[in-house]
Structures are given as structure tokens and as C-alpha cells.
Chain A
Amino acid sequence: MKLLTANFLACAVKGCKASASSYPLHFKDAELELQELDYQPVFLQNIMPRIDWEGLRMIANELGFPRLPDTKPEGDTLNDETTLRDLHRLLLETHVVEGKLCCGNCGHEYMIKEGIANFLLPSHLV
């Protein structure tokens, strides 16, 4: 589970759809791993407008990364190589291998094993 994916995930439980606190999902007992990956600036530039910066800052903070800038890099800052390299490392090379994703609204915990999050829900929560 890369941090970029975590930035897109919201709680799947039916009652949480309307609630603002169902996003972002918070990591618990996370075990991190770094996997080197080819640097893809075009993809990053394409994906940046869709990233929820507040959610990313919150999660990065919880996982103990250095503080991210207050505002989302946009426009010209996106052409800056060091910014993009940093984002690449954070979003695409950082994996959560083991741990839990926890919803801030209902408290449901999604297990992560070998990097795969389990989003299967018991039928009464669907």
C-alpha cells in the first residue's frame, strides 16, 4: 500500500459515506518499507492536482515524516526537480507493508498484510 493510494482511499462502510471524518483513513501500527522505483515526473504532474494535500500532510505527520509545506505545490513549483523527487519518494516509493487502516468516523479497521489492504466488509456494513 503506497501512500499515494492511501490518499485516495475512503472508508467503504455505508454509514460513513456522508461523514467528513471518514477521509483520510489513519494508519495504525504501520511498518514502512522503501522500494526504489523509476522516477516518473509526467505522471506526478498529472496526479498532483488530484491529491488531497491536507490528507497527505496529516498522514505523513502521523507516520513521522518531516513536515510538509503548508500549501500544495502547484504551477511552477511542480517543474522543480527536488520538489518532484521528494514527492516521488513519499508518494510512490514508500510502502506500508503491515499494519491497519482505521476510519476516523466508525473506527472500522482494515488490515494490511504484505502490502495488500483487506477491504472486504461483513454484509451488515455494506
Chain B
Amino acid sequence: MSRPEDTLYADLHYDDREAKKYTSSSRIRKIQSDMTHRALELLDLQSPSLILDVGCGSGLSGEILSQAGHTWIGMDIAPSMLDLALQREDEGVLSLMLADIGQGVPFRPGTFDAAISISAIQWLCNAESSDVSAEGRLRRFFEGLYASLRRGGRAVCQFYPKNDAQRSMISGAAMKAGFGAGILEDDPGTKNSKLYLVLTVGGGGLQGDITGIVNGMSDVDVLDARKTALGKGRPLSYRKGDKAWILRKKEQMTRKGKVVKADSKYTGRKRRPAF
């Protein structure tokens, strides 16, 4: 499948023709609306909230936010898409802005209850000229987003990474900015697999981030790398010469194919003091 990210920049790719095609395609509308509903479910908002829609495009996702009773501010880099969003006469839209998310998020701290982004942040990995880098764009975006969310706020970013390296680059940049980050993958391994980067701001320990969010959901398997990482963090208490050390060395030698004496009850046993 061809990726528009590989050929052009977002503002040039989505010209009038492409924007119209994108917005009127019933297939894309269906996928976008499904993903927005999923993102809203992950955000789990209780009252009418102020949401930032990053890469709002023609307002397909914003329409669903409005239906759910929320108010949103949209940012996008493609003027043609925003033009379509203007024609939509959505009641829930507060303002639309023409902005490049790779240049930061120009809101003062603690503005939003939540942020949502549908199929947008992979565009951050495109550096358009030699004086900007993908890492710099990701850093400015996530730092700006982190600051503009209120404490306890959440952001859900659905994205299409090109490969695993891009996926870890994006989630790594989010964590560096201070977010608690996790990735939810719907329909893993299939052509329709969808990745959601779930970001949390502040508090709650191990349950404060995505693992706490999906706790009540059915059909979700949690792969938590942190618990094993926590276990690995503590160095094993081998002292040279003690029984555990000897057994480990013997095992290493066996694996190398050396001839090793069999373990017995005398292996590495404590001896009485010489005097």
C-alpha cells in the first residue's frame, strides 16, 4: 500500500482535490468515525470537555466529538482541509487553526481536558528541509502537548507508523516529554490493525497510565514491559565463589560444550574455617 507520507508533505498532499476525495469517501469516513469512537472510549471523559484535535483535517473526527457533547479546537496544516471543515457548520467547534504541529502547540499551560489525534502524528516524522529534523519536530510537538493538557488529562493519538523504528521513535519522544505512554493495538497482525498511542499526564503509579485505562475493558491483553524491567533492574546477588556463582559458571561451560562435573550435594558447599 502506498503511503502519502513518503511522497509529499501534508499541506501539499491534501490539496483541494485530495481533501475533497478524502472527506467524501465513505470508506474513509467509516474508518475515521470508528477510530474516533474508540479514542473517545479511551479518553473516558465524564463531562462536556474542551478537547484539542491535532490534525483535525476536514472535521470528520470533530463531528463525533461534538455529537458526544464536547467542544473542540482543531489544528491542521492543510488549508484545503480546513476550508472543508469551515463549510461543515459544526456546533461544537470552538476554533480552527492553521498550524504545523511540529512547531509546537501554542496554548498556555493546562488548557485542555484531553487531546485527540486521528491519523496525523506520523506526519511529524517527515522533515521537510535541512534545518528541521524529525526528532526536533516530535520533541516540540509532545512538549507543547504535555504543557497544554491539564494535570490528569489524557491524549489519544491514532497513528500509522511506517515501521517499528518509527513507532518506537514516536512513543519514545512522548515519554521523553514526560507522558505516561502506552500503545493499544486493535486487530493486531491484520491488515486493519490500528495503533493508538495513549498518553497520560501525571500521577497514579503503574495503574495511572494505559494499563489502568484498559483495566475494565474486555478483549484486551496487556503486555507490560515495565514489570520485567523492574525485576531486571535489581542486580542478582552473585558473589564470586559462592554456590550460585559456581552453578552459573558450570551452566555457562555446559552450554559452551565443555566437559563439566555433575552437580552434587558437595557442589559449592560451605567449608569450615581452616583454623
Task: Using CB atoms and an 8 Å cutoff, list the residues of chain A in contact with chain B.
Answer: 1-2, 4-5, 8-12, 23, 37-38, 40, 42-43, 46-47, 50, 52, 92, 114-121, 123-124, 126
Contacts and interface: CB of A to CB of B under 8 A. Distances in A.
Interface string B46-77: 01111000000000000000000001010101
Given A5-B95, A46-B47, A50-B150, A123 B132 contact: yes
Contacts of A115: 86, 95-96
Contacts of A38: 91
A52 B107 CA distance: 12
A120 B98 contact: yes
A9 B132 contact: no
Interface of B: 47-50, 71, 73, 75, 77, 82, 86, 91, 94-100, 103-104, 106-108, 110-111, 113, 129, 131-132, 140, 150
Contact of B132 (A1, A10, A120, A126): A126
Nearest to A121: B103
Contact of B98 (A40, A47, A50, A117): A117
Contacts of A42: 47-48
A116 B25 CA distance: 25
A120 B94 contact: no
B86 A119 contact: no
Nearest to A23: B108
Given A46-B48, A114-B86, A120 B103 contact: yes
